[in-house]
Amino acid sequence: MIELSNISKIFDTGFNQVNALSDIDVKIDQGEFVAIKGPSGSGKSTMMNIIGLLDRPTKGKYFLGNNDVSTLSDNKRSLIRRNLFGFVFQNYNLIPRLSAVRQVEMPLIYRRDKEKRKKSILALSKLGLAERISHSPVKLSGGEQQRVSIARALVGEPKVILADEPTGALDSKTGEEIIQIFKSLSDEGITVIMITHDDSVARKAQRIIEMKDGMIIEE
């Protein structure tokens, strides 16, 4: 389970202080599909960065299971991030010259996994890309590129998927296909936390956390 307790995040710009998050309390169970919704500047991306151990809170505690990870060393946080989380981005973050299978292998290279090719092909096949493993991004549609991105996030067998506006660059039909993938992952017990500003996308999740001005206004 993910639990944020009294989390605040303040950014110091040098001229003033910006309260990006203020006294956030939230719990997310394993296997939930949760949408974090809000306009630009609402704090949703800051909250996702804290959940994904990409940033630290200024105040408060962050529990993964029963462990407070908010004060761990950078090395320990990095290890947990690699083993526990998978990340999906709006613009796919694919390397232009690499084939789909090599894109998916990237997280496993850092782990020195000897079965990286086998696992990557399986991840792509699970997402309907068995015939596209040798294609570079330029030869793939937007939806196919996002599925490669999801396969890359899944290949390390994470417990949590963090998706930042994953349908933002896609048409509605393709976006719906991506949402269905997330629903299937949730059914398998993987926690999916999706950031979106789109009401229609957020409503596809099991639960919506709505944010404004760094605070949760509805849950």
pLDDT at 75: 94
Q: What is the CATH number of the domain that holds 64?
A: 3.40.50.300
pLDDT at 149: 94
Q: Is the pLDDT of residue 32 over 80?
A: yes
Longest dimension (CA), the chain: 53
Greatest mean pLDDT range, 31-35, 66-70, 107-111, 173-177: 31-35
pLDDT at 184: 94
pLDDT at 104: 94
Q: Mean pLDDT lowest for which of 15-19, 42-46, 195-199?
A: 15-19
Per-residue pLDDT tens over the stretch 172-190: 898 999 999 999 999 999 9
pLDDT band for 84, please (50, 70, 90 cuts): very high
Q: Is the pLDDT of residue 110 over 90?
A: no
pLDDT at 201: 93
- pTM of this prediction? 0.91
81: containing domain: 2-218
Mean pLDDT computed over 134-151: 93
pLDDT at 203: 95
**What CA–CA distance (Å, rounded) separates 45 from 41?**
8
Mean pLDDT computed over 60-71: 92
pLDDT at 16: 87
Counting the structural domains of the chain, the total is 1
Q: Is the pLDDT of residue 89 over 90?
A: no
Are the C-beta atoms of 187 and 176 separated by less than 8 Å?
no
Give the distance, in angstroms, between the CA of residue 156 and the centroid of all CA atoms in the same chain: 13
pLDDT at 2: 97
pLDDT at 144: 93
pLDDT band for 90, please (50, 70, 90 cuts): confident
pLDDT at 218: 86
Q: Is the pLDDT of residue 61 over 90?
A: yes
Q: 3-class secondary structure for the chain?
A: CEEEEEEEEEEECCCCEEEEEEEEEEEECCCCEEEEECCCCCCHHHHHHHHCCCCCCCEEEEEECCEECCCCCHHHHHHHHHHHEEEEECCCCCCCCCCHHHHHHHHHHHHCCCCHHHHHHHHHHHCCCHHHCCCCHHHCCHHHHHHHHHHHHHCCCCCEEEEECCCCCCCHHHHHHHHHHHHHHHHCCCEEEEEECCHHHHCCCCEEEEEECCEEEEC
Q: What is the mean pLDDT of the chain?
A: 93
